[in-house]
Structure 1
Amino acid sequence: MNRRAFLLLTTAGTFGAALGVNKLMKLTSAATPCATILYSASDNPAGGHFLTRLDIASGTTDSQAVPFRGHGMLPLHDGRVILFGRRPGFECAVVNWSNGMQRIPATAGHHFDGHGCLSAQGDVLFTTENHFDAKRGVLGIRDSQTFQHLGEYDTFGLDPHEVQLMPDGKTLVVANGGIETHPDFGRRKLNLDTMQPSLVYIDAASGKKIDEYRLPDRYLSIRHLIATADGNVGVALQYEGDLYRQQPASLVAWQERGGDLQLLDISTADVARFSGYMADLAYDPQQHILAVSSPRGNHTSFWSTREHRFLHAHPLPEPSGIAFLADKQQFLVSDATGGIHTFPSTLQPASASLLHHYPDTLWDNHVVLS
């Protein structure tokens, strides 16, 4: 971060209070024991875009129209919810369920890349962004109340997609997808021959790189991640190689705190069903089960992080968002046909149960519990 950005943070009174912290906030990757509200981006059959709030118990929904297709979400402590833009996103939406919507514009030469997180005190918002002309991945830094842009950190890689705060409250973990894009070329991938995905740990107070990890297969784009309360990290991967010639060794990786980033074992026949594409993740810390959705493969998969291997998978139509209901020991999964399903968290194969169905709602990307 440059000197001007540092002075802005200091002047705003947020740098020391929000980034040099002792008190931890709830991690967005861990469901609260009695979560009752689900948030998700959604579409309707006419092509409208929304942020939808769902009461899990009653099934009632409330939707706010938004001007773009959303991706990740972040509930704020005051009840507002940020919906992050992607594909590419030149704005984010902050939804206040009683007062409508506020827009957060991207800074000049940047676009949002789908996700964000708060500092431990909740005063600072970090957003994954692409500084496209400079070919740099950055974390935008904003005041979480006013959304004033205060500065940025380098992510030490291209295409940062997801960022989460680690349980120490001091470290950010970033999934750099490694893919170069530019709005002038739409969603075209410009550097597949040289792409270098990485998982990077960054000091939240200074922007200094703490550690960086890469997988042996550079065609495995590191897209989504989950940080557990124990400091472990799960990673969902998307394969940019030629699936007709070769299947990837795996599409899910796991990193024990202080260890290496390792692919979880799976057979070639099993990995083929996921069509090279994994999306959202959720984790059961008691059973050590990682659940990962594959919308292109039309399956929800379950993996043992204790045994470092694939367990089983179950067909669903374009499963996208996934979360863990700790009080029920279940995984909740949304799909593109309007279904909300639950799976028991078990090492053995088990069928999904349909919890709710909304035929005019196409659930998208991710779900977040609150």
Structure 2
Amino acid sequence: MWQRRAFLKSAGAGFAAGLLPRQVQALERNELVFASAVQTAGGGYGAVLLGERGDVIATIDLPDRGHDITISREAGRGVVFARQPGTFALVFDPAGREAPVTLTSVEGRHFFGHGLFSPDGRLLYATESDFEAARGVVGIYDATDGYRRIGEFSTYGTGPHEMLLMPDGVTLVVANGGIETHPDFGRAELNIETMDPSVVFIDRRDGALVGQLRLDAGLHQLSIRHMAIDGRGRVWFGCQYKGASGDSPQLVGHATMDGEISLIDLPPGTLVDLRNYVGSVAASADGAMVAVSSPEGDLLVAIDVEGRRPVLVETLRNGCGLAADGRGFVATSGEGEMVGLAGSERAPQRFDFLFDNHVLRVD
């Protein structure tokens, strides 16, 4: 975890000097740092760095709604990605020493809200859409050269959403949601009848396909969207179902680089309460649990990864963001709440801004 001392070290000696006194005090009171895109009290959009006690350490203004955030110690930068089908990504200095830089997606592409840095911080990868061809791509940006876009490679599917780096530091895993979108039609889903979701493993060095996994053909309307990696290197994923409203398919599963993919059996009551929608997935710090959220069902579920069963189910109105806490998880909501889950000793907190769908524990 990015604890206070590590955060200060990675941000550089000038970090504390560049903060206001109240921000310095906030940092001194907190060990863990979290980041999230938010909607401000005035109706605008931004992102925040929060201490575990709820202290606001830094804020960043956004031109429109953000989605997810990635931060790299090695690069000394963070990036907020626009919500799909947005066309901006904002690069910021967590230390506040340099002004943010706004990236605009190249012609014919839009962002899908997620991305990550290479382990050395020299490259930024972003999930994007080649929307005229209904083809997913990973855009590649040079973090050492003003985040110049230097290329792209295919995600071997449509509608790529979350992307993670596997423990080997080489392989990217991408959730292809299977849904075609186009900026001319906003967030409209254009191919529900012919969806083709998949989990793909890609060599980030050359874009080569390592493996592609699909669920049974009868589940082709089960859009795979968000992921987390457990302590055994399995990729847990959560889905959003786009089929008939009366259906209630399983929504959570895991995949491996060895070619296995399967859904787990959640209890019928829990499955119904998820309302065919998983909005975020996170793994605990020890990798022994994963948690999934449903803002549609106001539900948080913690799952034992070995037993493949829920160990805790709680409600949180419009709850979606999930991240590992010191023990258990932290969850955030579109109502401005931050709560603890599954072993976390965090007391509930409320803010004057509204959290977007994801919260990042800054590692």
Q: Could you tell me the TM-score, scaled by structure 1's length?
A: 0.84
Q: Deviating runs (4+, > 6 A) in structure 1?
A: none
Q: CA 1:308/1:256 → structure 2, altered by over 3 Å: closer, same or farther?
A: farther
The RMSD of aligned alpha carbons is 1.9
Per-residue CA deviation, residues 263-320 of structure 1 (Å, 9 max, x unaligned), is 1111333201011111222213647221111111101111122122333321101112
Q: Is 1:356–2:349 an aligned residue pair?
A: yes
Q: 1:331 aligns with which of 329, 332, 345?
A: 329
Aligned counterpart, 1:23: none
Aligned counterpart, 2:67: 71
Counterparts of 2:285 and 2:184, CA distance in 1: 43
Per-residue CA deviation, residues 35-62 of structure 1 (Å, 9 max, x unaligned), is 6111000002432101111111362343
Identity in percent: 34
Aligned counterpart, 1:365: 357
Counterparts of 1:141 and 1:99, CA distance in 2: 22
3-state SS of paired residue (2:270):
helix
Worse-matched range after superposition: 331-340 or 150-159: 331-340
Contact 2:229 2:287 in 1 (8 A): no
Q: Which amino acid aligns with 2:36?
A: S
Worse-matched range after superposition: 337-346 or 152-161: 337-346
Q: Which amino acid aligns with 2:173?
A: V
Q: Which amino acid aligns with 1:301?
A: V
Aligned counterpart, 2:291: 291
Contact 2:240 2:277 in 1 (8 A): yes
1:255 Cα offset (Å): 2.4
Counterparts of 2:234 and 2:262, CA distance in 1: 12
Matches within 5 A, 1:333-348: 333-345=331-343
1:369 Cα offset (Å): 1.4
Worse-matched range after superposition: 157-166 or 38-47: 38-47
Q: CA 1:43/1:317 → structure 2, altered by over 3 Å: closer, same or farther?
A: same
3-state SS of paired residue (1:57):
coil
Matches within 5 A, 1:231-270: 231-243=233-245, 245-248=246-249, 250-256=250-256, 258-270=258-270
Q: 1:37 aligns with which of 10, 29, 33?
A: 33
Counterparts of 1:158 and 1:260, CA distance in 2: 21
Per-residue CA deviation, residues 89-143 of structure 1 (Å, 9 max, x unaligned), is 1110112233332101101100011111122322111100001012110000110
Per-residue CA deviation, residues 229-263 of structure 1 (Å, 9 max, x unaligned), is 532111011111112x2111x11111255251111
Contact 2:112 2:128 in 1 (8 A): yes
Counterparts of 2:31 and 2:330, CA distance in 1: 12
Comparing both chains, which one has the higher relative contact order based on Cα–Cα distances under 8 Å and sequence gaps of 6 or more?
Answer: 1
Q: Which amino acid aligns with 1:337?
A: E
Q: Which amino acid aligns with 2:64?
A: F
Q: Which amino acid aligns with 2:357?
A: N
3-state SS of paired residue (1:193):
helix
Contact 2:321 2:333 in 1 (8 A): yes
3-state SS of paired residue (2:271):
helix
Q: 1:227 aligns with which of 223, 226, 229?
A: 229
Matches within 5 A, 1:88-99: 88-96=85-93, 97-99=96-98
Q: Which amino acid aligns with 2:78?
A: V
Aligned counterpart, 1:134: 133
Counterparts of 2:302 and 2:182, CA distance in 1: 35
Counterparts of 1:272 and 1:344, CA distance in 2: 21
3-state SS of paired residue (2:194):
coil
1:184 Cα offset (Å): 1.1
Q: Which amino acid aligns with 2:265?
A: D
Counterparts of 2:42 and 2:59, CA distance in 1: 15
1:336 Cα offset (Å): 1.5
Unaligned stretches of 5+ residues in structure 2: 1-29
Counterparts of 2:64 and 2:270, CA distance in 1: 35
Aligned counterpart, 1:81: 78
3-state SS of paired residue (1:273):
helix
1:356 Cα offset (Å): 2.2
The aligned length equals 327
Per-residue CA deviation, residues 161-213 of structure 1 (Å, 9 max, x unaligned), is 11111111111100000001111111111100000000000111111111111
Q: CA 1:87/1:256 → structure 2, altered by over 3 Å: closer, same or farther?
A: closer
Per-residue CA deviation, residues 306-360 of structure 1 (Å, 9 max, x unaligned), is 12233332110111211112xx3121111112111112339xxxxx8534211x2
Contact 1:167 1:229 in 2 (8 A): no
Q: Which amino acid aligns with 2:304?
A: S
1:365 Cα offset (Å): 1.1
1:64 Cα offset (Å): 1.5
